[in-house]
A and B are shown apart, each in its own frame.
Chain A
C-alpha cells in the first residue's frame, strides 16, 4: 500500500499551473500589496514604529542615536529577545506563558549558585561555564515540561498554570538567593558574556555570512521551484531584497565597529557584542524549526485549528508540552544573559517589567495572541522596540511611572493592530 513516489524530473503540467505563470516583479509587488491590504501587514507597523521612536528620542536627546547607545540597546534587548523567542512559540499555539520571567531567573540563579559553590566546595570543583550553562538550561526546560504536563494532563488553561508558576518560581528564587541577598558571578566567561565583543573584522564576517546564506537559500529555492514548474519569487525582487538587507547589514556592522569609548584616551571599544551573535544564531535555528520542519508546522496547525490537527493524527498534547519546554529553554538562556549583564543575580531577578516586555516584544513584532499567526523574527523586532523605548526614556530621566504608562501604551497599540489585522483577514475573503 505504501508505494514510493518517484517524482519525475519533468515539470508538472497542469491547468492549475498554467494559471500560475511566472510573475513579473510588478505582479509580485501587486500581490504583496493585496496581502497587506487584506490585513497581512507583517513587519510594516514595526518599521514605521522604529522610525517614529528614533525621531522622537533623538530630538529629545542627542545621545540616543550614538553608536555607544545603539550598542547599549542591542545589549538591553538580547535577554528580552531570547526569552521572547520561546514566547512566540507559545503564542503560536494560542497559549501564554506568564512564568517566563521568573523561570529565566531560576536559570540565572541556578548558574550563579553552582558557580559560587564550586569556588567553596571542592566536590563541586568540576563546575565551569561550559557545564553550568547546560545544567541551568536543563533545569528551566524541565520546568517548562512540568508546566506543559500539568496543563495537558489536567486540561487547565495555560494562563492559570503559568500564573501559579509565576508566583512559585518567584518564591523559589527568593528562597535560593535569600532575603535581600545577591549572588555575584565570578566566573569570567559567564560574567563577561553580555559585555564581550568580537574583534571588528568579525562584525563583517558574521553579518556577511548571515545575509549571504539568506540570499543563497532564497536563490536556490527559487531555482528549484522554477525547475519544478512552480511559481517562484522573481529574480529582480530577490536582488532588490538582498541589496536592502546588505545595506542595512553593512550599516549595522559599521556602527558596531565605530569606537564607542567615551574619551579618546581610553582603550578603544568596538566590535559586535557576543550576545548579538547568540541572538542571531538562535533566531536562525528557531526560525528553521518553526518554518521548515514538521514540528514547526504542527505548532502552527495546533494554533490555527486544534481539532483539525487532532484529526490529522497530530499528537496535539505532545506538541503543547514540547512548546512549553522550548519556552523554558529559551527563558533559561535569556536568564543567563540577563544575569551576565548584571554580573549577579539578586532577589528581584526575573521580576519588574521583564515578563511584560517579553510578551510585548512578541506581540509588537507581529505574533498574534490568538494563535497560529506570527514569526520568530518578530521577537527580535519587538524586543528592539521595547528596548529602544526603555533606553530612550532612561536617557530622558523620566519617572518609572511614565515609563510604565508609555510601555503599556505601546503594548496596547500592538494588540489593537493585531486585532484589527485579524479582522481584516477574516473579512478579506
Chain B
C-alpha cells in the first residue's frame, strides 16, 4: 500500500485534543488520510472515534491541535465549511431526513435552483442578497434527479426502485448507499464513514464495502470507522487504533493481523508515549 501513500496527505490532524467537561475524549491525536486509500479508524466504545471525525467535520472545535487540508492549515467551524473544503461525513446515526425522498436527501442544503448555475462544488456560486433570494427560486428538480440517478449509477447502486421514494421506505443498506452517494455527489476529496455496516445483513454489508472500495478507486481519501475487523481487513489499506482518546498506532493492513489489532484495541501495547507513532 505504500504506493497509495505517495505524495502529501489530503487531511492531517496534529495533536488534536477534545474534552467534554471532565471527560477527556481525545488527547493529542495525530491522524492522516492520503488520496486513493481507505484508512480504518478502530477502537473500543468511547475510544474517541466519533469525536475525532466530528471535530474534523466542524460539528465542534478541537480544544488544541491543528488540522491541515491539502497541506494548508485550516480551521473548520461548521459542517458547511468542511463541505466547502471537500470533506463529507456519513454519520453513524444516519443524517437522512426520513420524510424526504432520495433526491431531496442527496441535495439537502445545496439544492439547485433556477437562475443560478448548477454546481457540484460545495461552494455556493451566489453571494449577497442573491444568496437569500435563492431560497425562494424554483428548484430544478429534473436536473437534480438526473444527477442523483447518475451518481447512484456510477457507484453501481442498483437496488433502488425509485429515487422519488421517501427514505423511510428504504432498507438499511439502501439508506446507507444513499448516504454515501450523497457524500460523493459533491466532488468531495475526503469521505468519512462512521460505522457504515453496523446493522446491515451479509449481502448489504458486501454491497456497502464494495461501494467503499469504489470511492478509493476514484482517488478519494476514505476514512472508515468500524467495530468489525473482518470488514476492515476486507477494505482498508491502513488501520489507526484509538484507545481511551489516545492514538495507539497505525498499521499497514497487509502487514498486520486481526489478532495484533485486537490486542492494540483492548490490552496494553501502549509502550510508547501516546500520540507519538511509528
**Residue contact B149 to A16, C-beta cutoff 8 Å:** yes
State the interface size on chain A (CB cutoff 8 A).
Answer: 47
The interface residues of chain A lying within 8 Å CB-to-CB of B146 are 7, 12, 228-230
Cα–Cα, bound, A1→B186 (Å)? 10
Inter-chain CB contacts under 8 Å: number: 150
Beyond A12-B146, A12-B149, A14-B149, whether A314 also contacts B109 by CB under 8 A is yes
Stretch at the interface among B154-162, B240-248, B265-273: B154-162
The interface residues of chain B lying within 8 Å CB-to-CB of A2 are 119, 121-123, 125
Give min CB distance, A216 to chain B, whole Å: 15
| Interface class of chain B by DSSP | loop
The interface residues of chain A lying within 8 Å CB-to-CB of B10 are none
**Residue contact A1 to B91, C-beta cutoff 8 Å:** no
Interface residue B252 (Cβ < 8 Å from any Cβ of A):
no
Question: Who on chain B is nearest to A426 by CB?
Answer: B168
The interface residues of chain B lying within 8 Å CB-to-CB of A230 are 142, 145-146, 149
Of residues 172 through 219 on chain B, the ones whose CB sits less than 8 Å from some CB of chain A are: 187
Interface residue A38 (Cβ < 8 Å from any Cβ of B):
yes
Interface residue B74 (Cβ < 8 Å from any Cβ of A):
no
Interface residue B26 (Cβ < 8 Å from any Cβ of A):
no
Cα–Cα, bound, A282→B118 (Å)? 30
Beyond A294-B113, A313-B79, A429-B171, whether A7 also contacts B97 by CB under 8 A is no
Name B157's contact: one of A16, A295, A301 (CB within 8 Å). Answer: A16
The interface residues of chain B lying within 8 Å CB-to-CB of A301 are 97, 100, 104, 108
Interface residue B111 (Cβ < 8 Å from any Cβ of A):
yes
Interface residue B163 (Cβ < 8 Å from any Cβ of A):
yes
The interface residues of chain B lying within 8 Å CB-to-CB of A310 are 79
**Residue contact B138 to A300, C-beta cutoff 8 Å:** no
State the interface size on chain B (CB cutoff 8 A).
Answer: 59
**Residue contact B108 to A312, C-beta cutoff 8 Å:** yes
Of residues 114 through 167 on chain A, the ones whose CB sits less than 8 Å from some CB of chain B are: none
Name the residue in B100, B105, B108, B139 with the highest tally of chain A Cβ atoms < 10 Å from its Cβ: B108
Interface residue A15 (Cβ < 8 Å from any Cβ of B):
yes
Name the residue in B59, B99, B158 with the highest tally of chain A Cβ atoms < 10 Å from its Cβ: B99
Beyond A304-B97, A304-B98, whether A5 also contacts B147 by CB under 8 A is yes
Interface residue B137 (Cβ < 8 Å from any Cβ of A):
yes
Interface residue B55 (Cβ < 8 Å from any Cβ of A):
no
**Residue contact B139 to A294, C-beta cutoff 8 Å:** yes
Of residues 67 through 121 on chain B, the ones whose CB sits less than 8 Å from some CB of chain A are: 78-80, 83, 86, 89, 91, 93-100, 104-105, 108-111, 113, 117-121
**Residue contact A305 to B95, C-beta cutoff 8 Å:** yes
Of residues 15 through 44 on chain A, the ones whose CB sits less than 8 Å from some CB of chain B are: 15-17, 19-20, 38
Cα–Cα, bound, A7→B140 (Å)? 12
Cα–Cα, bound, A305→B179 (Å)? 14
The interface residues of chain B lying within 8 Å CB-to-CB of A372 are 97-99
Cα–Cα, bound, A428→B171 (Å)? 11
**Residue contact B95 to A5, C-beta cutoff 8 Å:** no
**Residue contact B139 to A292, C-beta cutoff 8 Å:** yes
The interface residues of chain A lying within 8 Å CB-to-CB of B160 are 16
The interface residues of chain B lying within 8 Å CB-to-CB of A288 are 138
**Residue contact A4 to B117, C-beta cutoff 8 Å:** yes
Name A312's contact: one of B79, B94, B163 (CB within 8 Å). Answer: B79
Cα–Cα, bound, A17→B151 (Å)? 12
The interface residues of chain A lying within 8 Å CB-to-CB of B187 are 1, 3
The interface residues of chain A lying within 8 Å CB-to-CB of B6 are none
Interface residue B153 (Cβ < 8 Å from any Cβ of A):
yes
Give min CB distance, A27 to chain B, whole Å: 12
Interface residue B24 (Cβ < 8 Å from any Cβ of A):
no
Name A311's contact: one of B79, B111, B157, B168 (CB within 8 Å). Answer: B79
Interface residue A423 (Cβ < 8 Å from any Cβ of B):
no
**Residue contact A225 to B142, C-beta cutoff 8 Å:** yes
Q: Could you list some 24 contacts between A and B, CB below 8 A?
A: A1-B121, A2-B122, A2-B125, A3-B187, A4-B118, A5-B147, A14-B149, A16-B149, A17-B149, A231-B164, A292-B139, A293-B113, A293-B139, A294-B134, A295-B135, A295-B136, A297-B100, A297-B104, A300-B104, A301-B97, A307-B95, A313-B80, A313-B83, A313-B109
9 additional A-B residue pairs with CB within 8 Å, beyond A1-B86, A1-B123, A372-B98: A3-B187, A4-B125, A294-B134, A300-B97, A301-B108, A308-B108, A309-B97, A311-B89, A426-B168
The 5 A-B residue pairs with the shortest CB-CB distance in the complex, in nearest-first order? A2-B121, A312-B109, A304-B99, A313-B80, A304-B97
